[in-house]
Amino acid sequence: MNPCTFSISRLREMFIKHELSPVEIVTDTLDFIYKKNPSINAFLHINQQCIDEAKKSEERYLKGKAGKLLDGIPIAIKDNICTVDQPTTCASKILKGYMSPYDASVVRKLKQEGAIFTGKTNMDEFAFGSSTENSAFGPTLNPHNLERVPGGSSGGSAAAVASFMVPGALGSDTGGSIRQPASFCGVIGLKPTYGRVSRYGLVAFGSSLDQIGPFASNIRDVCIILNAISGYDEQDSTSCDIEVPDYEKSLDIPLKKKEISVGIPEEYFEEGLCSEIKEKINKLLDNLSNDGFCIKKINLPHTHYGIATYYILATAEASTNLARFDGIRFGYRSNNSKTIFDLYTNTRGEGFGKEVKRRIILGTFVLSSGYYEAYYLKAQKVRTLIMKDFADAFQSVDFIITPTTPETAFKLGEKSTDLLKMYLSDIFTVNANLAGIPGINLPIGLSSDKLPIGVQILAPAFKEENLLRFAYYIEQNLTRE
Ligand code: GLN
């Protein structure tokens, strides 16, 4: 039996009672990953050395000294998060074999809590995509149906949790890359508030939008990982010095249902939303209302500008962030160049994939003189309006419920030739990144063709505690079919 069908909290309990040991679970987990990965391609690198860490963890349990949050728990890390003892490639040829000289702050924190890193997960190259088809090392497949994509860009992490290769994983979310693959794979994925979790050591895509967050199969496990990775970090000037509550403990505080109101934004339920998703969400809303929650219709009037605004700002930031990959400092270097200029262009031309080049060109264009005011500056202004929409809405509601995605997992190759369609996969997720607020995907059932359906819940900035308690209520009471 695969040990990762157990939750993180259950594994911890079994370790403490000596019913199972970290070495046993890590050995079985690696065996399972080796067996399963060839068909799913969730991992780009499997970390055989993690057995040594499992042995150390086991000793701590034997000595009764294991009080840490994730002691002995296998965790997978998206391959754009730096790790000293495993490669960090961002699923790009340009970083093939690259070893970071330092750990990302989240990795350092997880290590301190005793987590065992089983490997690095597949993704869209530099996190540009919604399907994990843009990886230079082949796509990840959806464990629910191998003809379907797992979503992206953190498709490897989502698929690893969904196929029980690990009980928890980290991803990054710039415009939906945790929530959208979580929805396609039927797991939970949380994008925290911008500034809640340090971005130090996350290879930057859109620095004003990126956040690292957890994947797991239940809310309690998400809380445990979030407890471990949250908090101020002096190495990330945008991380916030705001107290971190104990998210796991707060799950035990009962909700005052009658005092909670939930906003349903009309703009998220228009034409284009798959009818089965709509039905499932409506059923959930009926149940919430029957349980005493107040469900209110609201408006977020600038919603429709989200995708355009996001693709201007995200590509602008990406084009500057990716300037550092020049063949001099990191990874791949083209070896047929006569001049330094040739070296740059050949390295970037050979090392970057198609989508990366497209985004660098688009981002450079919107930042170039003459177009800056028309595109970049205008997009910044619209971003402020989108933020204001949420601020206004949260005056009268505690949470906002929307679909996570307009449809369930699509077929491999289905959208690769129609980019606009691909970009529209994030229509419901990008606005939370533009506004900096937290959002979670919660699975709420399967479609008639047995593909997962997810709901997105949004909350005001730094209200993860409430968001998780509310999601926990739904998970415990309202998601059973
Ligand atoms: N799919 C979106 C994009 O391609 C979001 C990616 C992300 O969140 N990293 O930009």
Domain CATH number, residue 59: 3.90.1300.10
∠ CA 4-161-236 to the nearest 5 degrees? 115
Residue 443 near ligand 1, beta carbon < 6 Å: no
* Alpha carbon distance 140, 415 (integer Å): 15
Residue 175 near ligand 1, beta carbon < 6 Å: yes
Predicted local confidence at residue 147, as pLDDT: 98
380 CA to centre of ligand 1 in angstroms? 18
Residue ranges of alpha helices (H) inside 352-451 are: 354-367, 378-396, 419-423, 430-435
Instruction: Tell which of 357, 373, 389 closes a domain.
Output: 373
Predicted local confidence at residue 237, as pLDDT: 97
Predicted local confidence at residue 365, as pLDDT: 98
Predicted local confidence at residue 5, as pLDDT: 85
* Alpha carbon distance 172, 197 (integer Å): 11
**DSSP, res 194:** T
- Reduced to 3 states (helix: H, G, I; strand: E, B; else coil), residue 409 is coil
Specify the residue with its C-alpha closest to ligand 1, atom 4: 129
Residue 80 near ligand 1, beta carbon < 6 Å: no
146 CA to centre of ligand 1 in angstroms? 22
Predicted local confidence at residue 3, as pLDDT: 65
Q: Is residue 440 part of a domain?
A: no
Tell me, yes or no, whether 246 and 312 share the same domain.
Answer: no
Residue 130 near ligand 1, beta carbon < 6 Å: yes
Instruction: Tell which of 250, 268, 286 closes a domain.
Output: 250
∠ CA 65-468-103 to the nearest 5 degrees? 50
- Which atom of ligand 1 is closest in space to residue 127's alpha carbon? 9
What's the pLDDT tens digit per position in 331-359? 899 998 999 999 999 999 999 999 999 99
Tell me, yes or no, whether 246 and 316 share the same domain.
Answer: no
442 CA to centre of ligand 1 in angstroms? 19
Residue 475 near ligand 1, beta carbon < 6 Å: no
Residue 133 near ligand 1, beta carbon < 6 Å: no
Q: List the domain range (segments joined by +) for residue 204.
A: 3-250
Predicted local confidence at residue 143, as pLDDT: 98
Q: 52-90: string of b/e by CB count within 10 Å (b at 16+)?
A: ebbeebbebbeeeebebbbbbbbbbbbbbbbbeebbbbb
- Which atom of ligand 1 is closest in space to residue 209's alpha carbon? 8
Tell me, yes or no, whether 218 and 71 share the same domain.
Answer: yes
Q: Is residue 142 part of a domain?
A: yes
Residue 263 near ligand 1, beta carbon < 6 Å: no
Tell me, yes or no, whether 31 and 103 share the same domain.
Answer: yes
Tell me, yes or no, whether 27 and 156 share the same domain.
Answer: yes
Specify the residue with its C-alpha closest to ligand 1, atom 10: 128
> Residue 122: exposed, middle, or buried by beta-carbon count in 10 A (0-12, 13-18, 19+)?
buried
448 CA to centre of ligand 1 in angstroms? 28
* Alpha carbon distance 381, 321 (integer Å): 22
Predicted local confidence at residue 480, as pLDDT: 58
Tell me, yes or no, whether 9 and 143 share the same domain.
Answer: yes
Q: Is residue 270 part of a domain?
A: no
Q: Is residue 301 part of a domain?
A: no
- Reduced to 3 states (helix: H, G, I; strand: E, B; else coil), residue 77 is strand
Q: Is residue 185 part of a domain?
A: yes
Residue 214 near ligand 1, beta carbon < 6 Å: no
Tell me, yes or no, whether 157 and 81 share the same domain.
Answer: yes
Q: Is residue 394 part of a domain?
A: no
Contact 71, 57 (CB under 8 A): yes
Contact 360, 317 (CB under 8 A): no
Contact 167, 4 (CB under 8 A): yes
Q: What is the pTM of this model?
A: 0.97
Predicted local confidence at residue 1, as pLDDT: 54
What's the pLDDT tens digit per position in 35-66? 999 999 999 999 999 999 999 999 999 998 87
- Which atom of ligand 1 is closest in space to residue 310's alpha carbon? 10
Tell me, yes or no, whether 20 and 166 share the same domain.
Answer: yes
Q: Residues of the chain whose pLDDT is less than 50?
A: none
Strands 439-446 and 261-265: unpaired
- Which atom of ligand 1 is closest in space to residue 174's alpha carbon? 8
Q: Is residue 69 part of a domain?
A: yes
203 CA to centre of ligand 1 in angstroms? 14
- Which atom of ligand 1 is closest in space to residue 430's alpha carbon? 5
Q: Is residue 406 part of a domain?
A: no
The number of folded domains in the chain is 2
Where in the sequence numbering do the catalytic residues fall?
A: 78, 153, 177
Instruction: Tell which of 373, 393, 412 closes a domain.
Output: 373
Tell me, yes or no, whether 100 and 235 share the same domain.
Answer: yes
Tell me, yes or no, whether 242 and 357 share the same domain.
Answer: no
Tell me, yes or no, whether 68 and 216 share the same domain.
Answer: yes
87 CA to centre of ligand 1 in angstroms? 22
Predicted local confidence at residue 481, as pLDDT: 55
Residue 128 near ligand 1, beta carbon < 6 Å: yes
Give the CA distances from residue 174 to residues 17, 153, 237, 318, 368, in Å, rounded to whole numbers and listed in that order.
40, 9, 18, 11, 23
